Amino acid sequence: MNYHAPWWLPGGHAQTIWPALRGRAGHPPWPPYRRERWTTPDEDFVDVDWRDGAATAPLLVLFHGLEGSSNSHYALALAQWAQTQDWGFAVPHFRGCSGEINRAPRAYHSGDFEEIGWMLARMRMRHSGPLYAVGVSLGGNALLRWAQEAGSTAPR
């Protein structure tokens, strides 16, 4: 496949910044998320934003990028797509990214696969339909690190 950028959007930097600046233009108001706070094994918390779909429909879980959140342009676009498919959608926020300071000194980082595994296990316990996980930038790196560590157990 040969990709040719539009003449008015040359270079990778401009193509990366454009969606963040203009990606929400012209869209109707986004439906609100439903927020849940989960207590972590170390007595801290993570906030998870949900858009519910049909009970047995797939659930799409997004791990956001560095300093991202459920309000990032890519999260809103995926939430809108999931809604049109009647899928559930969830964004578990890495620590410190949900708009509230966490209690514990632990911060998230690209190699923090244990917390990814814990979040996915909680999602699996509460959702009986198919579960799909995607990550953007740092979230994608952390998700892939978890998949590598989980090995053949990752699909479960």
> Given this model, what pLDDT does residue 108 score?
78
Residues of the chain below pLDDT 70: 20-31
Q: Is residue 142 part of a domain?
A: yes
**Which residues fall within 8 angstroms of residue 133, CB to CB, at 6 or more apart?**
60, 61, 62, 63, 120, 143
Q: Is residue 20 part of a domain?
A: no
Q: Is residue 4 part of a domain?
A: no
Beta bridge partners of residue 59, listed in sequence order: 88, 131
Number of folded domains in the chain? 1
Q: Is residue 118 part of a domain?
A: yes
- 93: containing domain: 34-153
What CATH number has the domain bearing residue 133?
3.40.50.1820
> Given this model, what pLDDT does residue 27 score?
60
> Given this model, what pLDDT does residue 112 score?
82
* pTM of the entire predicted model: 0.84
> Given this model, what pLDDT does residue 28 score?
57
Q: Is residue 14 part of a domain?
A: no
Q: Is residue 84 part of a domain?
A: yes
Q: Is residue 15 part of a domain?
A: no
Q: Is residue 21 part of a domain?
A: no
Mapped to the 3 state alphabet, what secondary structure does 74-117 carry?
A: HHHHHHHHHHHCCCEEEEECCCCCCCCCCCCCCCCCCCCHHHHH
